Structure 1
Amino acid sequence: MTLTNGASKPYKAAIIQDFSTNKPWGQMTIDATANFIRRGIPHAQVDHYRAADGETLPPAKDYDLFVLTGGTVNLLEEETPEWALRVLDLIRDAGGLPRTKLIAFCWGHQAVHYAFGGVLDLLEEGPRIAVEEMNLTLEGKKLFGKETLKYHKRYISRLAPDFTALAERCEISCSKEKGILTFQGHPDLSREIVRALIDTDDGLYKPSETTHRSPCGKLFSSDTADDGDEVWYKIMDFVSAS
């Protein structure tokens, strides 16, 4: 519970959906994220905002936690959609609130660093959907308690100020000052969700890219076991820390 003027109120979390789809994997992703939040904070009120569909976003001060999903909007293009600009504003507002935490995946990871002055770059081999093994930095090993992580992954060439890299190539980052933890990959995607995504893919993810070796690390097939469930325990430890 959080406190307001000495009175308790429900812990409030908001999932900000940064993709637009009516395919089954979309709701599966939102439901899985909500379940992970409630596993860590059983009494949490979890709300869902379809940012990419133009839904009005709440004030940052109204929530204890924001989770930003993946998405496909290219923030390097000259014109950024209005909804994405509103998400960037929300990120900046949340980062300025000492008691509000923010977790971001994939596009959300890129948006956080874009919002705070980081540098984005294109991934030469294009989008990928598979399980990729990445090496953690010393700070990353402290947080996750292991040498490497494996999860479904899709590039930040330079982190925003006040952020620390938790994995090589800036694939995981943290700002304890702002209460933000970001992942270039997808600990939110289970094997079941990935299979549903591949089954309804419209060509964005090429089949060969699920098996080819990547310069970022060892790339496994989409059926490979991942660390997503374990990572979520660490995410919620970060969220719950004062």
Structure 2
Amino acid sequence: MKKLLIVKTGSTYDSIRKNHGDFEDMIIAASGITKEKFDVFDARDESLTFPLPDKYAGIIITGSHDMLTYNDDWMQDLKDWINTITDTNTPTLGICFGHQAMAEAFGGVVDYRDWGPEVGYVKVKFDAEAYNDELFSILYDKCSVYQYHSQSVIELPRGATLLATNSIDPVQAIRYNSHMWSCQFHPEFNHEIVAHYINQNALHLTTEGLDPYELLMRLEPDQTGEKLLKQFIKICGL
């Protein structure tokens, strides 16, 4: 049986990694399947060659503390590789930075938003296009998700379908074709992880006009992200 591939684009803080693992560990924990069914490929290691997409049952591209506007060489390599997935039937999901990388790979635009970071437990609304979508139809019309990001997809790729939005960031989820999706929010996070992020960056959030205490008070346990990841795993046939 084919494995799932996690494409690692960054690492979380050491303080979070001690209790929750790194981004790939969070994804595995939320997926409901064992670690042995995953391979992890570090996209930042330019000594490595990207694997063939059709070798895998599915692909998940992680978040990162890096920004796409850094335009590092490995980021362009990642986007070039993402384009090769189009000609396969390999289900692919990009998360946060992975969402933005997929959007840019297909011709979208990513940049900082004028109104600052989107952080915490945030409501999103799924558009009518999501109702019959193989992946996102399992979520409610409106639900809350965990967020922490400063950059966004500010222009959709031509031909892409917008699936979810909110008043803070209009591009919350995208379908690119029959087997490739991305979301700005973090389905692998739980409320404890987001709380760590808020506490770690409290001073910065204050300078951005956000109230860390208020963000913490709004956090609630929620399994929406787990539900989405498990549906993706189901689509992958595992």
Structure-2-length-normalised TM-score: 0.77
Residue 164 of structure 1, CA deviation: 1.2
Note the alpha carbon deviations across 1:11-39, whole angstroms, 9 max, x for none: 311111212456143534321201233x2
Matched, 1:51 2:77: no
Match runs of 1:84-233 below 5 Å = 84-98=75-89, 100-142=90-132, 143-153=137-147, 154=149, 155-168=152-165, 169-177=170-178, 179-201=179-201, 205-206=205-206, 211=211, 220-221=215-216, 224-225=219-220, 227=222, 229-233=223-227
Q: Which amino acid aligns with 2:220?
A: A
Cα distance in 1 for residues equivalent to 2:60 and 2:187 = 12
Residue 132 of structure 1, CA deviation: 0.9
- The 1:103/1:204 distance shift into structure 2, 3 A limit, reads farther
- The 1:198/1:72 distance shift into structure 2, 3 A limit, reads same
Note the alpha carbon deviations across 1:138-183, whole angstroms, 9 max, x for none: 1234413422121122222222233211112121111343x11211
Residue 91 of structure 1, CA deviation: 1.1
Cα contact 1:118–1:156 (8 A) shared by 2: yes
Cα contact 2:4–2:59 (8 A) shared by 1: yes
Residue 105 of structure 1, CA deviation: 1.0
Cα distance in 1 for residues equivalent to 2:67 and 2:124 = 24
- The 1:55/1:115 distance shift into structure 2, 3 A limit, reads same
Residue 119 of structure 1, CA deviation: 2.3
- The 1:123/1:101 distance shift into structure 2, 3 A limit, reads same
Matched, 1:60 2:57: no
Cα distance in 2 for residues equivalent to 1:52 and 1:204 = 26
1:216 matched residue in structure 2: none
Determine helix, strand or coil for the equivalent of 1:186.
Answer: coil
Greater CA drift, 55-64 or 115-124: 55-64
- Unaligned stretches of 5+ in structure 2? none
Cα distance in 2 for residues equivalent to 1:208 and 1:127 = 8
Q: Percent identity?
A: 20
- Unaligned stretches of 5+ in structure 1? 1-9, 213-218
1:31 matched residue in structure 2: 25
Cα distance in 1 for residues equivalent to 2:205 and 2:55 = 36
Q: Which amino acid aligns with 1:86?
A: D
Q: Which amino acid aligns with 2:188?
A: D
- The 1:167/1:211 distance shift into structure 2, 3 A limit, reads farther
Residue 116 of structure 1, CA deviation: 0.5
1:5 matched residue in structure 2: none
Greater CA drift, 16-25 or 148-157: 16-25
Residue 87 of structure 1, CA deviation: 1.4
Note the alpha carbon deviations across 1:184-225, whole angstroms, 9 max, x for none: 11121111222333444496544866548xxxxxx9547512
Q: CA RMSD in A?
A: 3.0
- The 1:224/1:207 distance shift into structure 2, 3 A limit, reads farther
